[in-house]
Amino acid sequence: MISPILTVSQSDAPRSLAAALEDGAVLLFPDLDFPFSDFERRFVERPFADGKAKNVNIRGADAELRGAAGTPEEQEALRGLLVRYRAFAKGLVNRYLPDYIGRVNFAGTSYRPFDVDKRKLSWRRDDTRLHVDAFPSNPIGEKRILRVFRNINPSGQPRRWRVGEDFGSMAEKFLPRLPGYSPLSAKLLAALRITKARRSEYDHLMLHLHDALKQDEAYQASAPQADVNFLPGQTWVTFSDLVMHGAMGGQYMLEQTAYLPVAAQADPAKSPQRILAAKLGRPLQ
Ligand SMILES: [Fe+2]
């Protein structure tokens, strides 16, 4: 089954969308307001980025801005825009995912002013290939990756995605090919500070899934998939560790990353952690 897109308008009766989200849907909010001031409009006229990293972001309690360009006044306004977007994402969770209130941890907020990178990157960094998100240096363990995206393109350009098949069907094809987990090398990676915490068996499997998926040209071309266009002004929300996705094009986007403990899900059995354990027929280490 291909990941469904569930459209929710402001005029729809409010209801919790946690079950649909946990099932692997992309929630699409076509008409939520997030207005820019006259001053802020410059941030979608040209990229205010130092060009060293792909994105500009704020992280942590002090919300220090990283990777930005512009005058001090402009950078302060851009930081303010990201702080406001984080509050917008929190408001969305409060309204549509009330089950998660108080359980979800809002991490990095990013401004993505560059076109989706179509240079001939290494296959591992090529996000046009269908994948699930996994972070090599930042083990996730018993957390889920929830992301809130908004297309802020000023000239009508959509954010173009592909979405793929459901996580369970994908895992069935790829799990048998993945190398076994070594608790000893996980310990070593943490001791050498290559990873920020011990890489669990789940993190190991997700990293190898990410790579095996991106490397498999035949799968990329022939796996079940659908094109989706997110228009300017639209907001979309998904578990990016569960929903197979590739970013095909588009410029100017805001993104909020949040972490949710598996135990805080409406149904933890729908997590990639538990799906992988069920396919292997044993708990993960
Ligand atoms: Fe991704």
Question: What are the chain's domains?
Answer: 5-280 (2.60.120)
How wide is the angle at C-alpha 234 spanned by C-alphas 255 and 115, nearest 5°?
55
User: Is the pLDDT reported for residue 61 higher than 90?
Assistant: no
What's the 16 CA to ligand 1 centre distance in angstroms? 25
Diameter of the chain by CA atoms? 57
Predicted confidence (pLDDT) at residue 205 exceeds the cutoff of 80: yes
- Decide: 4 and 165 in contact? Cβ < 8 Å: no
The b/e string for 184-204 (b: 16+ C-beta within 10 A; e otherwise) is eebeebeeeeebeeebbbbbb
Between the CA of 210 and the centroid of ligand 1 the distance, in Å, is: 9
Higher pLDDT, 248 or 184: 248
Q: Would you place residue 139 in the very low, low, confident or very high pLDDT band (cuts 50, 70, 90)?
A: confident
Q: Which residues contact 72 (CB under 8 A, 6 or more apart)?
A: none
Ligand 1 center to 13 CA (angstroms):
31
Average pLDDT over the chain reads: 94
CA distances from 225 to 220, 238, 246, 254 (A): 9, 16, 10, 24
- Ligand 1 center from residue 46 Cα (angstroms): 24
Give the long-range contacts of residues 185-190, CB within 8 A, separation 24 or more: none
118 pLDDT higher than 70: no
Residue 172 — pLDDT band, cuts 50, 70, 90? very high
- Nearest alpha carbon to residue 127 among 152, 158, 162, 156: 162
Q: Residue 205 burial by CB count (10 A; 0-12/13-18/19+): exposed, middle or buried? A: buried
Q: Using the mean position of ligand 1's atoms as its centre, give its distance from the Cα of residue 182 in Å.
A: 26
pLDDT band (50, 70, 90) for residue 13: confident
Instruction: Return the ∠ at Cα 204 (arms to 200 and 207), rounded to 5°.
Output: 135
pLDDT at 212: 97
Rounded to the nearest angstrom, the distance between the alpha carbon of 67 and the centre of ligand 1 is 20
Burial of 220 from C-beta contacts in 10 A (0-12 / 13-18 / 19+): buried
178, 208 Cβ separation under 8 angstroms: yes
